[in-house]
Amino acid sequence: MQVHKLEDKNKLFESVLTFGNFDGIHRGHAYIIDKLISISKKEDLKSVLITFEPHTTSTLRNDNNFKIITPFNKKISVLERFNLDVTCKINFNKKFSELSAATFIDIIIKKYNPKIILIGYDNYFGHKKEGSYKYLSRNDKYSSIKIININQFKYKNINVKSSLIKDFIMKSDISNVNNLINRQFSIDGKVIK
């Protein structure tokens, strides 16, 4: 898997892509990624996952105490297990958060020329959340791109969401965390006396 930055010179002639925070890389995220890779093989397109660092919510709320499940380096190591072609990092800051949905998508199109975009049911993008599945699918400007809406993912009748996993972590319910992320939850840090 190659790791790009949005501002670097790497480009693709064609791709299938998705984007989001992917905090925790839980079963719902894995469902999207598996679908992305399946489409990429079927259509002979490069698979691209675009993610943000730091988490968009911590920047938008200006909250240094905002909790994340998976720090960026850990996220990359988990993503390597999926055999994606490219993961692209967006350095997310206040200025980037003010880009319109159209500008954001135009930047992505210029860099990766997606033929297909997978977008989660609760994925909003662009200034003041103006972008969404509806925005892309109803905009003639993007009519040459196939837009696929990914519905909410359920595991054993549980709506899998990062916020739910964080709740389980705060309650020390690691068994449920492990079930929803489909691996052993771990914390990296320095042990001090």
pLDDT above 90: residue 65 = no
pLDDT of residue 16: 98
How far apart CA 19 and CA 170 sit, in angstroms, is 27
187 pLDDT band (50/70/90 cuts)? confident
Q: What is the mean pLDDT of the chain?
A: 96
With b for 16 or more beta-carbon neighbours within 10 A and e for fewer, the 117-127 pattern comes to bbbbeebbbbe
Q: What is the mean pLDDT of residues 44-64?
A: 93
Say which residue the tokens 């319109």 belong to: 100
- Kindly report the pTM of this predicted structure: 0.95
The alpha carbon of 71 is separated from its chain's Cα centroid by a whole number of angstroms, namely 13
63 pLDDT band (50/70/90 cuts)? confident
- Residue 59 burial (10 A CB sphere; 0-12, 13-18, 19+): middle
Please write the tens of the pLDDT for every residue from 91-150: 999 999 999 999 999 999 999 999 999 999 999 999 999 999 999 999 999 999 999 999
Beta pairing, strands 114-120 & 15-20: parallel
Residue type, 80: E
Q: Is 29 helix (H, G, I), strand (E, B) or coil?
A: helix
